[in-house]
C-alpha cells in the first residue's frame, strides 16, 4: 500500500538521463547537442536540460523559440539551437537571449536579418537542407538561393552561419537505402555552402538512431533526443546501447470489486471475464495521455504480474482484471518503466497500441503529478 498522496505520477530518474547522455557522449567522442524539445520528451524541460548538461552535453536543441527562452529564463547558459519557426517569429528576442536559430527559406532569413539590424547583434544561424525527409529544410532547388543570400548576409555582418544540417527519414532502419542517398545530398549541399564561403559552419545530421547505429553520419556533432531518456530509437532493448529508461508511470488503485463471470466491463462491453474475478479500477485515462487504443491490449503491472487492460480506456480511468490475486484500493500499479522490476516498458506499450514510444512519453501527462528522483542537475 502506497503512502504517497498522488493518485498517479510520472517518476523521472535524473541520474538515468545524465548517465545516458554520458554513454552517448563517450560513444561518439565528439560534441553532443542534447534535444530537450517537447517538455524534455515528456520528462520536464528544465530538469531534463540540467540533467543532460550534468551528463556532459555540450549544447541543447529545442523545436520552438519559447522552449529556448524558457531555458534562458531559468538561468541555463549553455548554447541553445531553436529550429521550428513560422512567419513573425520574434527573432529579436532570440538574439538578445543568445539563442542560435535555424533557417529553412529565404523569407525566414530575411526576418532574421531584420532582427539582427534592429538589435545591432549578429545572428548565429544554422541553415537546414531538406535531403529527402520532405519536411523542414530548403529543397535542392531552393538551397543555392538560400546559401547565396546567407553568404551575403554574413558578409554584411548581419548573421554568422554557424551550422549546416539536415534530418534523416530512416535512421531507425540502419540499412535502408535512403540513408546513403540523404548523406550524398547533404554532402552536396555542404559543398555548395563551402564554395559560397560558409566555411566555419559545423555539420550535424545524426539523430538518436544515427547516434547509436550510423557512425558515418556523426560529422562535427550529434543531435540525439529520445535516446537521452533511455529509449531505444531502433525499437529494441535500450540496454544493448548502455541506456536505461528514465520514466516510470504509476498509479494507485482507486477501487476493487468482485464480479461474476460474463459481466460486461467498461464502455461498450468489449471485455467479459470468463469466470468470477476481481476488477481493479485505475484512475487515469485518455485525458491523462493514456491511449484509448490501449483497451484490451496494453499491459500493466498489478498484484505482482502483468495484466492486460480490461475493456475500453475511459477519459479518467480504466479497469484491470486481476483474477484471484490479492489487490486493494491504494495499491500501486505500473503502466511502464525501465522493465527491470517486472513492469512493462514504453516499448511494450508502443507495440501493443501500434505506435512509437516517442508518442507515449511525450503525450502522457494531464493530471499525472511529476516527481523527480536522482540528483543530476538538480537545483
Catalytic residues: 37, 267
DSSP state of 21: H
Grid coordinates representing 96? 538578445
For residue 338, which of 219, 232, 189 has the smallest C-alpha distance? Answer: 232
Give the C-alpha separation, 270 to 347, whole Å: 25
364 Cβ contact partners less than 8 Å away, ≥ 6 residues apart:
10, 42, 249, 288, 289, 290
Question: What's the chain's Rg over C-alpha atoms?
Answer: 24
Cβ–Cβ under 8 Å, residues 336 and 280: no
Grid coordinates representing 284? 487515469
Q: Please report where in the chains the cell 529565404 appears, as a residue.
A: 106
Sign of CA pseudo-dihedral 103, 104, 109, 111 = negative
Cβ–Cβ under 8 Å, residues 186 and 170: no
* SS3 (DSSP) at 211: helix
Count of other CB atoms within 10 angstroms of residue 290: 32
Q: Which residues pair with 247 in a beta bridge?
A: 12
202 Cβ contact partners less than 8 Å away, ≥ 6 residues apart:
162, 163, 164, 219, 220, 221
Give the C-alpha separation, 329 to 320, whole Å: 13
DSSP state of 374: S
Give me the DSSP letters along 326-358: ---TT-EEEEE-SSTTS---HHHHHHHHTS-HH
Grid coordinates representing 238? 535500450
Amino acid at each position: 500500500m502506497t503512502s504517497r498522496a498522488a493518485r498517479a505520477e510520472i517518476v523521472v530518474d535524473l541520474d538515468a538521463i545524465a548517465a545516458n547522455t554520458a554513454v552517448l557522449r563517450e560513444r561518439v567522442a565528439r560534441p553532443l547537442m542534447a534535444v530537450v524539445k517537447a517538455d524534455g520528451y515528456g520528462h520536464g524541460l528544465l530538469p531534463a536540460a540540467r540533467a543532460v548538461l550534468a551528463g556532459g552535453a555540450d549544447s541543447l536543441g529545442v523545436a520552438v523559440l519559447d522552449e529556448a527562452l524558457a531555458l534562458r529564463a531559468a538561468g541555463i547558459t549553455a548554447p541553445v539551437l531553436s529550429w521550428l519557426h513560422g512567419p513573425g517569429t520574434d527573432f529579436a528576442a532570440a538574439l538578445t537571449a543568445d539563442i542560435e536559430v535555424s533557417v529553412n527559406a529565404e523569407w525566414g532569413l530575411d526576418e532574421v536579418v531584420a532582427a539582427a539590424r534592429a538589435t545591432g547583434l549578429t545572428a548565429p544561424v544554422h541553415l537546414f537542407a531538406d535531403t529527402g525527409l520532405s519536411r523542414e529544410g530548403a529543397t535542392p532547388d531552393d538551397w543555392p538561393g538560400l546559401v547565396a543570400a546567407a553568404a551575403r548576409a554574413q558578409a554584411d555582418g548581419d548573421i554568422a552561419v554557424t551550422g549546416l544540417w539536415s534530418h534523416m527519414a530512416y535512421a531507425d532502419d540502419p540499412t535502408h537505402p535512403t540513408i546513403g542517398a540523404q548523406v550524398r545530398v547533404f554532402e552536396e549541399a555542404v559543398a555548395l555552402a563551402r564554395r559560397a564561403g560558409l566555411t566555419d559552419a559545423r555539420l550535424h545530421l545524426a539523430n538518436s538512431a544515427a547516434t547509436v547505429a550510423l557512425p558515418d553520419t556523426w560529422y562535427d556533432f550529434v543531435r540525439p533526443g529520445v535516446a537521452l531518456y533511455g529509449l531505444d530509437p531502433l525499437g529494441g532493448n535500450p540496454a544493448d546501447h548502455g541506456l536505461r529508461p528514465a520514466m516510470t508511470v504509476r498509479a494507485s488503485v482507486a477501487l476493487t470489486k468482485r464480479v461474476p463471470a460474463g459481466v460486461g466491463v467498461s464502455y461498450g462491453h468489449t471485455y467479459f471475464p470468463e469466470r468470477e474475478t476481481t476488477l481493479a479500477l485505475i484512475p487515469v485515462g485518455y485525458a491523462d495521455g493514456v491511449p484509448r487504443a490501449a483497451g484490451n491490449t496494453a499491459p500493466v503491472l498489478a498484484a505482482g504480474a502483468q495484466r492486460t487492460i480490461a475493456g475500453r480506456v475511459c477519459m479518467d480511468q480504466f479497469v484491470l482484471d486481476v483474477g484471484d490475486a490479492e489487490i486493494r484500493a491504494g495499491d500501486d500499479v505500473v503502466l511502464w518503466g525501465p522493465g527491470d522490476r517486472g513492469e512493462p516498458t514504453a516499448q511494450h506499450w508502443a507495440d501493443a497500441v501500434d505506435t512509437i514510444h516517442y508518442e507515449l512519453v511525450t503525450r502522457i501527462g494531464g493530471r499525472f503529478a511529476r516527481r523527480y528522483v536522482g540528483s543530476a542537475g538538480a537545483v
